[in-house]
Amino acid sequence: MSETARILIVDDDQALLEALPQTLRLRLAGIQIDTCDNAAEALERVAQVDYDAVVTDIKMPGKDGLAVLREIKELRPETPTLLITGHGEHDLAVQALRGGAYDFVQKPIDRDYFAASLERAIELRRLGRQVEEQRLALERHARVLEHVDNGVLLVDGTGIVCHWNPGAAAITGLAPADVLGRAAVEVFPRWNELEPLIPVGERPGPGGATARAIPLEVDNRELWLSISGVLFGDGVVYAFRDVTQERTLDELKDDFVATVSHELRTPLAAIYGAAETLRREDLALDGAVKGKLLAIISVECERLTRIAGDILLANTLSSNRLKLDERHVELGPLARDVVEEMRAAFADRADIEIEFVGEDGSASVLADENRLRQVLINLVENAVKYSPNGGHVEVEVEQLPSSVRIAVRDQGIGIRSAEQQRVFGKFYRVDPHLSRGVGGSGLGLYISRELVRRMHGRISLASREGAGSTFYVDLPLVRVAAATTRPEQAVAG
Ligand code: ADP
């Protein structure tokens, strides 16, 4: 035995009470033995000391060994108890085993058997303690895991999710009940493709695997998780953190560089070209050509000014510094007005027909008229810009039970479904190489969405690639008499 074991021997036979310890000391090194000759004292000691084993005679005056056994089981259910029975007392021995005794030894005592049985009992207790310590340590770790911000997920060898900490639930929005006990492939779309991409190490920390960012689709949201795994028995424990924001910033930076550098370079090149041509002394330019070159400079400068204005406005919106002048606005007349303005602006696009559809009626919303006009102009401009083969552009105002919907419909190039959410992002343009030759800052829809949001409305789109797009602006309706109430409280009028 490696550690000192402490046992208690209980017997009213003084001779045995002296002989047994001697026998054991000879056979079990380093054992510490307490003795006592009655049940009451034995139980007192058991209550005080967590013995590795107890040996008790089954027949004692007052309380017998079986009763002592019962009380020990209550006090210390883990302590193995050996009973000494008289010769041939098989029934008592069986009762003792039924009552939870670890073993019994019959008189006359076979000393070697007795020592061996007791040694096994002590070993059993030692292992029991170890298991208990490990269980407590595991519980402690599990409690620690409950409090870490990072997500922790255990997938066993059969692909079942066995652990899902609150961090994982908070990051993904998936409750433990939706995940635990289910196959990872059922819970996470494309898990079979993603799992091989996740670095898995033998151990955590510096010697382990370096986390990698992977996209995970949860509830139609794309989450980017920086994730790595550690082998655990026949499964893998994965730890992850949410890097969606960092990822979005990276994408924003890329979109910004791609769009803005292109959008600045194109007008600057045109201005530079026109100015250089005007400066050349070897060319005799007539008045008309000079006029055209100056017009190029003026138009491109205006384009640059618009981009600078868009960037400034987007920035003001992002930092929530834009003040709106909200008033009662009738949408029919406003939309009709915008349609007329746009017809004039695109007079050179004979292939495009811009139309107002729907009622002119008195559908009223609480909005900043100029900003709403800006949104509609942007939508109609886009409808024309992204209809290279011409077609109809319709602006429709429709009154719904509790809102007013403005739809701007075109028959242009359309937007693939994968891109439909992204077009509202800052600086995002569908065609990264801008090969369709249509200019833009990629800020128009971002600005429109933010403006509509601030007017308590919503902007959305329905589109099919090659078949045109419809952008919807939904604004809460207000009763004429209740024009000053908050729009959230508005009722259909
Ligand atoms: P910009 O038009 O300046 O590029 P927007 O934010 O207005 O920026 O639009 C973002 C992107 O969405 C455009 O680059 C274009 O790819 C796409 N888009 C917007 N409106 C339409 C439309 N009506 N039809 C097809 N694509 C569109």
Q: Are residues 449 and 395 in the same domain?
A: yes
How far apart CA 237 and CA 230 sit, in angstroms, is 5
* CATH number of residue 218's parent domain: 3.30.450.20
How far apart CA 14 and CA 247 sit, in angstroms, is 81
Q: How many domains does the chain have?
A: 4
User: Could you tell me whether strands 352-358 and 391-399 are parallel, antiparallel, or unpaired per DSSP bridges?
Assistant: parallel
| Cβ–ligand 1 contact at 440 (below 6 Å) | yes
For ligand 1, atom 19, name the residue with the nearest CA. Answer: 382
* CATH number of residue 76's parent domain: 3.40.50.2300
| Cβ–ligand 1 contact at 447 (below 6 Å) | no
| Cβ–ligand 1 contact at 441 (below 6 Å) | yes
Beta bridge partners of 453: none
Structural domain including 366 reads: 327-492
How far apart CA 52 and CA 157 sit, in angstroms, is 38
CA 420 – ligand 1 centroid, Å: 10
Q: Are residues 356 and 307 in the same domain?
A: no
Mutate to test the pocket of ligand 1, among 354, 386, 447 (most ligand atoms within 8 A of CB): 386
Q: Are residues 333 and 459 in the same domain?
A: yes
Give me the pLDDT at residue 362, please.
67
Which of 82, 109, 140 is where one domain is finished?
A: 140
Closest to 80 in 3D by CA, of 105, 53, 113: 53
Give me the pLDDT at residue 62, please.
79
Q: Are residues 70 and 13 in the same domain?
A: yes
Give me the pLDDT at residue 138, please.
80
How far apart CA 244 and CA 150 sit, in angstroms, is 14
158: left (phi over 0), alpha (psi -120 to 50) or beta: alpha
Specify burial of residue 53 (Cβ count, 10 A radius: 0-12, 13-18, 19+).
buried
Q: Are residues 135 and 89 in the same domain?
A: yes
Q: Are residues 298 and 339 in the same domain?
A: no
Q: Are residues 314 and 356 in the same domain?
A: no
Which of 298, 318, 338 is where one domain is finished?
A: 318
Q: Are residues 474 and 383 in the same domain?
A: yes
| Cβ–ligand 1 contact at 179 (below 6 Å) | no
Specify burial of residue 30 (Cβ count, 10 A radius: 0-12, 13-18, 19+).
exposed
User: Could you tell me whether strands 458-464 and 403-409 are parallel, antiparallel, or unpaired per DSSP bridges?
Assistant: unpaired
Cα dist. 114→14, 21, 388, 453, 468 in Å?
18, 11, 99, 84, 92
CA 372 – ligand 1 centroid, Å: 18
For ligand 1, atom 25, name the residue with the nearest CA. Answer: 414
| pLDDT tens column, 340-376 | 999 999 999 999 999 999 876 667 899 999 999 999 9
Q: Are residues 347 and 458 in the same domain?
A: yes
CA 166 – ligand 1 centroid, Å: 40
CA 439 – ligand 1 centroid, Å: 10
E-strand spans in 75-159?
A: 81-85, 103-106, 151-155
| Cβ–ligand 1 contact at 238 (below 6 Å) | no
Packed helices 287-318 and 244-279: angle between N→C axes, nearest 10 degrees: 160
For ligand 1, atom 3, name the residue with the nearest CA. Answer: 440
CA 297 – ligand 1 centroid, Å: 25
Give me the pLDDT at residue 434, please.
47
| pLDDT tens column, 267-302 | 899 999 999 999 998 988 899 999 999 999 999 999
Which of 318, 341, 358 is where one domain is finished?
A: 318
Give me the pLDDT at residue 53, please.
96
Mutate to test the pocket of ligand 1, among 423, 426, 459, 470 (most ligand atoms within 8 A of CB): 423
| Cβ–ligand 1 contact at 415 (below 6 Å) | yes
Q: Are residues 429 and 385 in the same domain?
A: yes
Q: Are residues 263 and 188 in the same domain?
A: no
Give me the pLDDT at residue 482, please.
44
| pLDDT tens column, 5-58 | 999 999 999 999 999 999 999 999 889 999 999 999 999 999 999 999 999 999
User: Which residues are within 8 A (CB) of 419 and not within 5 positions of it... i.e. 6 or more apart?
Assistant: 430
Q: Residue 341 is which amino acid?
A: E
Q: Are residues 41 and 176 in the same domain?
A: no
Helices (H), 147-243: 166-172, 176-179, 184-187, 191-194
CA 325 – ligand 1 centroid, Å: 27
CA 382 – ligand 1 centroid, Å: 6
- Mean pLDDT for the chain? 88
Ligand 1 atom nearest the C-alpha of 383 is 23
Check the CA dihedral 76-78-84-90 and report its sign: positive
| Cβ–ligand 1 contact at 425 (below 6 Å) | no
Residue 5, both tokens = 């074991």
- What is 444-482 written as a DSSP string? HHHHHHHHHHHTT-EEEEEEETTTEEEEEEEEEB--STT
* Under-70 pLDDT residues of the chain: 1-3, 205, 360-362, 432-437, 479-493
How far apart CA 443 and CA 454 sit, in angstroms, is 17
Angle at 400 between CA 394 and CA 401, to 5 degrees: 175
